[in-house]
């Protein structure tokens, strides 16, 4: 990682440490902000999904059969009609056709605009008149033996070169005509396919528009319905205000209240445990005291008897034990004044019933949601009324957007579909006739091509250059006849076909120049915008058709496409701030009050302080010292002295026996002490040590409980009102945020998603494809191909007639001088594969 400073210098360690410290502080603040957000409990309002867009069938496909020929056709039509779209002239004709017909200037203007078509028509008419006349004159001349009609062919040295030239000329013209004929077949079939598929394409297009028009109200309903869902969600939250607001208040109290209650609960449990230990300690003390009293009584009895024995006169040296007998006793008093005081303090705490106080505090905290519900009952009812007003306000979107006007468009589309369905049988029948006529035309042209091809094949096959023309073979003669037949069919049908070419040229050419070409470059839509024509689609909009089409091509929403922002004030329509302001005002004027609550009474606090003090003052040293004294009791020492004295008694046997008997009893008492008293002392010592550990704990627990209860009580007394206001405001902000998020979403959907109108542009494109790209261009390609063939009929006729004489059998021979050498004309070689 690079250590380069953003400003260009390497920072020092103190600077980086400062940056790290600032980053750490920011992270801490961010975590605290998230924590506060989590405590606020407002679940972020999530925007709804985008509006669903319907699936459309798409635009119509173009017919590619005539595509390769269309550049030539367009170039020819542009040469014929290079003038721009005549908007003013078209507008005059549409508005007042009768005046245009009667006005010479306007007729002249039309003729000037159509001058290219007029020139072509003049050429076509000239062709129509000249072809049959020339054919008639040529037939008459040939019948009279002129114009090649005389069956005589002069033999010259260049005859073979001329024949080859004519042969390849006819061959070239035939190939050109055949290419045009192939185009005729293709375009005739393409036009048939187009007419057959057009109803389905138009039906799909109308279906897409229907689907689009139906989707727009549905999308608006989705926007409005989302507002209803938002209102319902806020309504549910208002009905649940006790749990949502009260629950957050409980969470805020939990941080201080629960630790305090837990410390009181722990103190209560330790008080019970301490009481149990005190009871056990008192029981042990009583038992030990009883044992000590019994031992003391036994020791006292033995001591009295020993004193009596020692007082007898015959007791030798007994006066030495009288002092020991005075100290022969057992300390039977075990006193612990602080223990009784501590016991009293513990009993007072137990009598205070801390568990009941804990239950009261928990009950107070548990009932907070219900208290909030009771306090906000009127507020919730008023807020619901405002929510109903919000729902009604947003419901006006449908009426303000004037979606009912779309029904007029739908009705128009339905009528168009019915019209298409009604004329469809007639169109199919007419198309069948047209296709049959087209096939007939193609076949006639193909007949001419076939005659030429047969003539070109049979003529050379049967031709022998050295044979006299009058002796030519039947094959060669048949080839010549086929060439003449091709020329005859050309003369016979060409002028009739030219009439059809002119009619189709006028129809298809003008449709291309006046409709398709301006439609393709956008001039037609601009004309519709500026013409002022009534199209039956007046929706009171300020958008023009060309702008609508351009926006729909980009799949823009209706808000932008139709400039609905000029008609509908969406900000005002979706402005619910006045209702949310009323709800906010009602929240601010509503006071949610929670009754004050004392966790512990002053008397209980005094008792807790007392038990803490008594636990501190508890001193077990005196009791321990007393127990140590008991453990040091040893009566065997005194018994040994008595036994020694008894052995020294030589005079009186009775005194000796008495002394030995009492010494034995002392030893028995000592054994009883060791068996009974010492274990009780050790048990008591263990109980005291256990109690000492308990007193240490209860002292700390009592102090902690007092501290935490005091802090919790101060927190409740000083912060309850502010917490209630904060949580109420947070709840209100959360509900208002739902509407803010919805309003932003609704604006986005209406302005960016509602009614994406690419289907409209596709519908226009589909109509253009069906009408212009498929129908008009196929029609233009057909008459262009037919005209192409007819134009090349002229050179084909000339060359065919001239070439036929080289293959036909002549009636008259030409005399050839011996010095003239006839060139051999090679036969055409055909390789049949």
pLDDT by 10-residue block (mean), the chain, 833 residues: 37 38 38 38 61 71 63 88 82 76 80 88 91 84 65 62 87 92 89 83 82 82 82 85 82 80 79 76 78 82 81 76 74 66 76 78 81 81 82 76 69 80 85 90 93 88 71 81 88 91 91 87 79 54 74 84 79 79 78 72 76 67 74 80 78 77 84 83 78 70 78 80 82 83 84 84 85 86 91 90 79 50 41 34
∠ at Cα 479 (473, 485), nearest 5°? 135
Structure tokens at 274: 């301490």
377-380 LR contacts (CB < 8 Å, sep 24+): 378/590, 379/586, 379/587, 379/590, 380/238, 380/239, 380/241
Coil, helix or strand at residue 818:
coil
Structure tokens at 440: 């007939």
pLDDT for 446 equals 93
Structure letter (DSSP) for residue 769:
I
Chain-centre distance for alpha carbon 536: 39
HEC readout, 703-748? HHHHHHHHHHHHHHHHHHHHHHHHHHHHHHHHHHHHHHHHHHHHHH
- CB-based contact 811:152 (threshold 8 Å): yes
Q: Which are the contacts of 648, defined by CB distance < 8 A and separation ≥ 6?
A: 316, 317
Q: 229-255: buried (b, 16+ CB within 10 Å) or exposed (e) per residue? A: ebbeebbebbeebbbbbbbbbbebbee
Q: How far apart are CA 218 and CA 54, in angstroms?
A: 11
Structure letter (DSSP) for residue 751:
I
pLDDT for 453 equals 92
Helices (H), 542-634: 545-553, 558-561, 570-573, 577-589, 602-617, 621-631
Coil, helix or strand at residue 152:
strand
Q: How far apart are CA 147 and CA 804, in angstroms?
A: 13
Q: How far apart are CA 407 and CA 15, in angstroms?
A: 71
Nearest to 152 by CA among 808, 798, 800, 801: 808
Q: How far apart are CA 140 and CA 793, in angstroms?
A: 20
Query: Whole-angstrom distance between the N-terminal and C-terminal Cα of the chain?
Result: 78
Tell how many helices (H) and how many strands (E) occur in the chain. Answer: 28, 0
Q: How far apart are CA 238 and CA 381, in angstroms?
A: 9
pLDDT for 61 equals 64
- CB-based contact 633:330 (threshold 8 Å): yes
pLDDT for 816 equals 47
Structure tokens at 704: 């902690």
Structure tokens at 79: 């040469």
Q: Which are the contacts of 524, defined by CB distance < 8 A and separation ≥ 6?
A: 85, 515, 518
Helices (H), 463-576: 474-511, 517-521, 523-531, 545-553, 558-561, 570-573
Structure tokens at 734: 């959360």
Q: How far apart are CA 143 and CA 161, in angstroms?
A: 28
Q: How confident is the model over 116-151, as pLDDT tens digits?
A: 889 999 999 999 999 888 888 877 876 776 665 555
640-649 LR contacts (CB < 8 Å, sep 24+): 641/321, 641/324, 642/306, 642/321, 642/666, 645/317, 645/318, 645/320, 645/321, 648/316, 648/317, 649/315, 649/316
Q: How far apart are CA 583 and CA 560, in angstroms?
A: 34
Structure tokens at 335: 């006193």
Q: How far apart are CA 58 and CA 414, in angstroms?
A: 19
Helices (H), 749-776: 758-768
Q: How far apart are CA 30 and CA 33, in angstroms?
A: 5
Domains of the chain: 64-226+404-538+757-804 (no CATH), 242-350+360-376+603-746 (1.20.58)
- CB-based contact 626:334 (threshold 8 Å): yes
Nearest to 781 by CA among 512, 515, 403: 512
Q: How far apart are CA 452 and CA 461, in angstroms?
A: 14
Q: How far apart are CA 244 and CA 237, in angstroms?
A: 8
Query: Residue 790 to residues 127, 184, 189, 227, 692: CA-CA distances in angstroms?
Result: 9, 12, 20, 72, 131
Query: Residue 476 to residues 50, 93, 238, 336, 832: CA-CA distances in angstroms?
Result: 82, 61, 108, 159, 19
pLDDT for 25 equals 36
Q: How far apart are CA 555 and CA 762, in angstroms?
A: 10
pLDDT for 820 equals 40
Q: Which are the contacts of 70, defined by CB distance < 8 A and separation ≥ 6?
A: 777, 780, 781
Q: How far apart are CA 576 and CA 397, in angstroms?
A: 13
pLDDT for 2 equals 38
């Amino acid at each position: 990682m690079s250590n380069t400073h953003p400003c260009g210098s390497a920072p020092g360690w103190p600077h980086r440490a400062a940056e790290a410290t600032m980053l750490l502080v920011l992270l801490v603040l961010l975590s605290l902000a998230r924590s506060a957000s989590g405590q606020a409990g407002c679940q972020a309002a999530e925007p709804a999904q985008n509006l669903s867009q319907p699936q459309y069938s798409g635009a119509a496909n173009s017919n590619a059969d005539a595509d390769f020929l269309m550049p030539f056709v367009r170039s020819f039509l542009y040469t014929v009609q290079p003038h721009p779209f005549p908007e003013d002239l078209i507008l005059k004709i549409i508005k007042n056709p009768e005046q245009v017909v009667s006005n010479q200037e306007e007729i002249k203007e039309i003729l000037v605009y159509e001058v290219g078509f007029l020139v072509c028509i003049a050429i076509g008419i000239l062709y129509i008149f000249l072809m049959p006349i020339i054919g008639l004159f040529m037939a008459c001349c040939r019948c009279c033996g002129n114009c090649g009609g005389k069956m005589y062919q002069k033999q010259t040295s260049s005859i073979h070169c001329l024949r080859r030239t004519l042969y390849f000329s006819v061959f070239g013209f035939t190939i050109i005509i055949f290419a045009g004929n192939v185009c005729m077949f293709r375009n005739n079939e393409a036009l048939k396919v187009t007419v057959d598929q057009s109803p389905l394409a138009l039906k799909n297009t109308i279906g897409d528009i229907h689907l689009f028009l139906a989707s727009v109200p549905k999308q608006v309903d989705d926007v409005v319905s989302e507002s209803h869902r938002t209102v319902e969600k806020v309504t549910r939250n208002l009905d649940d205000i006790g749990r949502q607001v009260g629950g957050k208040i409980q969470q805020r109290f939990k941080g201080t209240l629960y630790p305090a209650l837990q410390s009181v609960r722990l103190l209560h449990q330790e008080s019970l445990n301490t009481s149990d230990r005190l009871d056990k300690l008192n029981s042990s003390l009583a038992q030990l005291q009883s044992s000590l009293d019994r031992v003391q009584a036994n020791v006292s009895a033995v001591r009295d008897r020993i004193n009596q024995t020692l007082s007898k006169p015959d007791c030798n040296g007994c006066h030495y034990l009288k002092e020991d007998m005075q100290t022969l006793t057992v300390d039977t008093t075990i006193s612990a004044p602080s223990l009784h005081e501590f016991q009293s303090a513990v009993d007072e705490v137990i009598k205070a019933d801390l568990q009941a106080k804990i239950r009261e505090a928990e009950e107070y905290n548990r009932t907070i949601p219900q208290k909030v519900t009771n306090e906000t009952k009127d507020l919730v009812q008023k807020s619901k009324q405002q929510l109903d007003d919000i729902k009604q306000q947003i419901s006006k979107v449908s009426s303000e957007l004037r979606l009912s006007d779309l029904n007029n468009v739908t009705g128009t589309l339905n009528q168009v579909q019915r019209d298409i369905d009604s004329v469809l049988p007639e169109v199919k029948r007419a198309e069948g006739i047209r296709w049959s006529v087209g096939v007939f035309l193609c076949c006639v042209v193909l007949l001419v091509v076939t005659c030429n091809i047969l003539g070109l094949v049979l003529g050379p096959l049967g031709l022998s250059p050295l044979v006299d023309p009058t002796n030519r073979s039947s094959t060669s003669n048949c080839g010549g006849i086929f060439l003449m037949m091709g020329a005859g069919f050309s003369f016979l049908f060409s002028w009739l076909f030219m009439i059809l070419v002119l009619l189709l040229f006028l129809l298809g050419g003008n449709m291309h120049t006046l409709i398709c070409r301006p439609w393709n470059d956008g001039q037609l839509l601009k004309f519709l915008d500026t013409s002022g024509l009534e199209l039956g689609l007046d929706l009171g909009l300020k958008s023009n058709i060309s702008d609508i089409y351009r926006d729909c091509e980009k799949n823009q929403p209706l808000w932008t496409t139709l400039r609905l922002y000029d008609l509908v004030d969406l900000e005002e329509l979706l402005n619910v701030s006045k209702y949310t302001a009323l709800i906010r005002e009602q929240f601010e004027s509503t006071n949610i009050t929670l009754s004050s609550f004392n966790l512990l009474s002053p008397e209980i606090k005094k008792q807790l302080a007392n038990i803490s003090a008594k636990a501190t003052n508890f001193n077990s040293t005196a009791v321990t010292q007393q127990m140590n004294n008991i453990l040091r009791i040893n009566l065997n020492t005194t018994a040994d002295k008595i036994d020694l004295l008894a052995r020294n008694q030589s005079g009186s046997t009775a005194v000796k026996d008495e002394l030995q008997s009492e010494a034995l009893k002392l030893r028995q008492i000592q054994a009883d002490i060791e068996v009974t008293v010492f274990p009780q002392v050790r048990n008591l010592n263990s109980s005291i040590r256990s109690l000492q550990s308990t007193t240490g704990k209860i002292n700390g627990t009592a102090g902690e409980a007092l501290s935490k209860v005091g802090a919790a009580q101060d927190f409740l007394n000083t912060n309850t009102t502010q917490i209630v206001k904060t949580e109420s405001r947070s709840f209100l902000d959360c509900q208002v945020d739902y509407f803010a998020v919805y309003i932003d979403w609704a604006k986005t959907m209406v302005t960016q998603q509602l009614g994406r109108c690419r289907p409209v542009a596709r519908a226009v494109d589909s109509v253009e494809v069906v009408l212009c790209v498929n129908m008009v261009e196929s029609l233009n390609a057909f008459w262009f191909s037919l005209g192409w063939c007819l134009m090349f009929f002229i050179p084909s006729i000339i060359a065919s007639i001239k070439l036929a004489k080289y293959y036909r059998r002549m009636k008259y021979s030409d005399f050839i001088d011996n010095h003239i050498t006839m060139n051999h004309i090679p036969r055409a070689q055909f390789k049949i594969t």
